[in-house]
Structure 1
Amino acid sequence: MLDLDLSVRVGPAELEARIAARGRRVAVVGPSGAGKSTLLRVVAGLERRARGRVAFEGRAWLDTSARTHVPPWERRVGWVPQDALLFPHLSVRRNLAYAGADAERVERVAAALQVDGLLERRPRFLSGGERQRVALGRALLSDPRLLLLDEPFAALDRPLRRELAGRLARLADERDLPIVLVSHDEADADLIATERWIVEGGVVRAG
């Protein structure tokens, strides 16, 4: 699925990632500041401080030796950062439909993520957990080939984390959609991932 052979600049240090995903749901875990989010941004094509190669399903998205860099929009990645980054001037409905999804799909995903009662609200009237669910729905509705999630459950209480993880897993399975998520909480990682990558001491290794 995802194959990395990288050196990534993280502050004054280098993070070495020479690892390949065996399954379809990978959790990247490790302490804060270890480089987990930076690694996700390299995969998404949003971070250029990397040397080496990123390949997804056999295609090189990044290969610095061959001067290959596929731009983010061609990678078709569903990217959900920690702070959600919703459009503040648009309603929840219009945020979800931003990538061109039709009304029926918007309603279905909104219901699956339990934001169907919030569709006419603006982001400033949402809680942190509600904003995160809307951002997740918007990513799913963009028809991504890969879903990248940065601390997707951090703003939710524990029971809602379990419920949302189950719903997300079902939605991903329906679409055969691979997921890579970052978390500092191993319990969160275990809610959805079938495989762990551990970031520690400047190295990414299988856990």
Structure 2
Amino acid sequence: MAKRGYHHGNLRQALVEAALDLIGEKGPQGFTLSEAAKAAGVTPAAVYRHFAGREDLIAECAVQGYAIFADLMDYAFNDGKPSALAAFEAVGRAYLAFARRHPAHYMAMFESGISQNQTPELAAGAARANAVLERAANALSQHIPPDKRPPAAMFSAHIWAMSHGVVELFARGAPGARAPFPPEDLLESGIGIYLRGLGLLPPDR
């Protein structure tokens, strides 16, 4: 891991970037605050001017991850898709793309054991990302009468869980194994089966 170093008063972000490097190399539980300080080129005592401890540092990594994550999903949802289903599927693919492109952020967000309520900023970031998926779910169910419509929060949470499972088992290479099909295809077919079961899509002919 290359030493980033601390320059021009940007210690907070230097520590975040050092922590992301360490998370990518060792996992979110595999490094100490002293190691993050050393990678950033400062003493451990300097870290406490910005973070109360290692969990707060990882939480900030997660906050920045959620900002990227929500932006990607929001773009996928709003990028001129021809149908609500196409937009919903695009959001799922954006989830996989984020996990591939930003694995250290992903681990800080979902594999660190840190509560989403660790900081107000983390809670707000997680809520924003979840809201994008709920909007996509709500748009997909508009053709169903309100009294028969499944709660958007419920089936968006199920799709989130399915996406997370595909990422963990097949998209990042650890701890899972290679899939017999591309992860995108696995997720798309799983979404289709699930949505048909809810009556949100017509059955295959």
**TM-score, with structure 2 as normaliser:** 0.30
**TM-score, with structure 1 as normaliser:** 0.29
Task: Give the structure, 1 or 2, with the largest relative contact order (CA under 8 Å, sep 6 or more).
Answer: 1
Q: Which has the higher helix share?
A: 2
Between structure 1 and structure 2, the one with the greater Rg is: 2
Q: Which has the higher strand share?
A: 1
